[in-house]
């Protein structure tokens, strides 16, 4: 039985399990819900939090409650038409603009890497091995996250033994679990070796500086320069990025997240004529709508297209008209009409 429980637990992603547990605690402890519950209770629960929770959060709560009932062999009350109508009404009465992470543009990536390179050089000259390691790790984290479009949880789960570097070509990265890998078969990614802003060179520099040979790629480094044995927490990546971007002088640093790396790469690829199929295959998206949410148009206000259409039309100057000799009028000849007999 213990083995069965172990495999059942492995079938659900850690993030999903934690979010569902949090949702159930909220429903039980804070609102006072019970298992099993009724569709009317679910509708009241939604109404009570309609003005304080986002529609996406409410949907996630419904998914958790549904899974909770099904796993205990109870009917799913969230599927009732009454519940779905209440949710639709909440969305209509409390619309909210979706907040998306600010994409990290290529120019900003260049500015950030230039700042990191300066910090690495300064640390090396000062003999500060701790700071050199920290900045070298951060450079690899951002460049791998950008060029591979990795999320924070994927960056935190990268393992050294799952990465193979092919000199001059790139690196092969295997992730045993990803958000879109519903079959839990693992996903293989490839990152290219580049002439600048190279994720492969940054990764090799970090592995050399850290002396790591196995285990998590990205780890916490304490104030004494000791590298932790466990991976960076996915939740710590966003605060780390915002702090780094602020130190590098990037404006509106608080609007960045780990999704900024993925959105930045997707926007760059779109501006450089990658078609949607190529982009989806590279990043690993399975759904077109998911991919389109990450792409910012190169001309979001359509300014260039409209200005091009508004440009004044210049009529080419014609050569001077040549006066033609006057044509004498043709003499008019009288034509006699003869009556036609139809008899």
Please determine, for residue 177, whether its predicted confidence score (pLDDT) is greater than 90: no
**What are φ and ψ of residue 118, in 5° steps?**
-65, -40
Q: How much is the average pLDDT of 169-185?
A: 79
pLDDT tens profile 211-269: 999 999 999 999 888 999 999 999 899 999 999 999 999 999 999 988 999 999 999 99
So what's the pLDDT on residue 338?
36
Q: Is the link from the previous residue into 171 a cis peptide, with omega within 30 of 0?
A: no
**Arithmetic mean of pLDDT, 315-337:** 51
**Distance from first CA to last CA of the chain, Å, rounded?**
114
- 81 burial via Cβ count (<10 Å: 0-12, 13-18, 19+): exposed
Paired with 192 in beta bridges are 170
79 Cβ partners below 8 Å, 6+ apart? 66
d(CA 179, CA 258) in angstroms, rounded, equals 15
Q: Using pLDDT thresholds of 50, 70 and 90, give the confidence band for residue 337.
A: very low
| Average pLDDT score over residue span 181-193 | 81
Q: Quick one: what percent of the chain has pLDDT higher than 90?
A: 60
Q: Find out if CATH 1.10.150.130 is the number for domain 1-93.
A: yes
Q: Is the pLDDT at 307 greater than 90, yes or no?
A: no
Banded model confidence at residue 299, pLDDT cuts 50, 70, 90 = low
What's the pLDDT tens digit per position in 120-155? 999 999 999 999 999 999 999 999 999 999 999 999
Using the predicted structure, report yes or no on whether residue 13 has a pLDDT greater than 90: no
* Least trusted range by pLDDT, from 63-77, 88-102, 241-255: 88-102
Q: Tell me, rounded to whole angstroms, the distance of Cα 333 from its chain centroid.
A: 85
CA 7 to chain centre: 30
Place of tokens 């139809």: 342
- Read off the pLDDT of residues 17-64 as tens digits, 9 standing for 90 and up: 788 889 999 999 999 999 899 999 999 999 999 999 989 899 999 999
Q: What is the pLDDT of residues 158-173, one digit of tens each?
A: 999 999 999 989 999 9
Sketch the domain layout of the chain as residue ranges: 1-93, 106-293
pLDDT of residue 333: 46
Q: How confident is the prediction for the chain on average, in pLDDT?
A: 85
The per-residue pLDDT for range 80-91, each reduced to its tens digit, is: 999 999 999 999
For strands 170-175 and 219-221, give the pairing.
unpaired
Looking at residue 248, its pLDDT comes to 96
pLDDT at residue 156 in the model: 94
- Which CATH class, in words, describes the domain spanning 106-293? mainly alpha
């Amino acid at each position: 039985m213990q083995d069965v429980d172990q495999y059942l637990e492995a079938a659900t992603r850690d993030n999903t399990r934690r979010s569902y547990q949090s949702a159930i605690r909220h429903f039980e402890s804070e609102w006072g819900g019970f298992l099993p519950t009724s569709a009317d209770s679910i509708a009241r629960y939604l109404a009570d939090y309609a003005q304080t929770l986002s529609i996406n959060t409410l949907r996630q709560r419904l998914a958790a409650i549904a899974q909770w009932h099904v796993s205990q062999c109870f009917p799913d009350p969230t599927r009732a038409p009454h519940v779905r109508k209440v949710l639709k009404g909440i969305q209509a009465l409390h619309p909210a603009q979706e907040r998306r992470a600010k994409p990290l543009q290529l120019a900003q990536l260049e500015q950030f890497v230039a700042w990191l390179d300066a910090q690495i050089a300064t640390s090396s000259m000062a003999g500060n091995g701790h700071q050199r390691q920290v900045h070298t790790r951060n450079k690899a984290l951002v460049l791998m996250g950008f060029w591979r479009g990795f999320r924070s949880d994927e960056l935190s789960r990268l393992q050294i033994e799952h990465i193979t570097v092919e000199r001059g070509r790139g690196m092969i990265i295997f992730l045993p679990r990803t958000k879109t890998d519903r079959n839990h078969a693992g996903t293989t990614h490839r990152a290219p070796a580049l002439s600048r802003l190279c994720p492969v060179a940054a990764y090799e520099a970090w592995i050399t500086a850290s002396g790591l040979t196995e285990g998590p790629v990205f780890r916490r480094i304490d104030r004494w320069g000791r590298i932790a044995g466990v991976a960076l927490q996915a939740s710590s990546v966003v605060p780390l990025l915002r702090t780094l971007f602020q130190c590098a002088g990037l404006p509106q640093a608080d609007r960045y997240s780990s999704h900024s790396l993925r959105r930045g790469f997707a926007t760059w690829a779109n501006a450089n004529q990658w078609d949607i199929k190529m982009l989806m295959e590279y990043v690993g998206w399975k759904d077109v709508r998911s991919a389109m949410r990450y792409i910012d148009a190169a001309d979001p206000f359509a300014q260039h297209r409209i200005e091009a259409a508004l440009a004044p039309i210049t009529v080419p100057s014609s050569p001077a008209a040549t006066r033609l000799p006057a044509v004498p009028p043709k003499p008019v000849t009288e034509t006699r009409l003869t009556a036609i007999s139809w008899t």
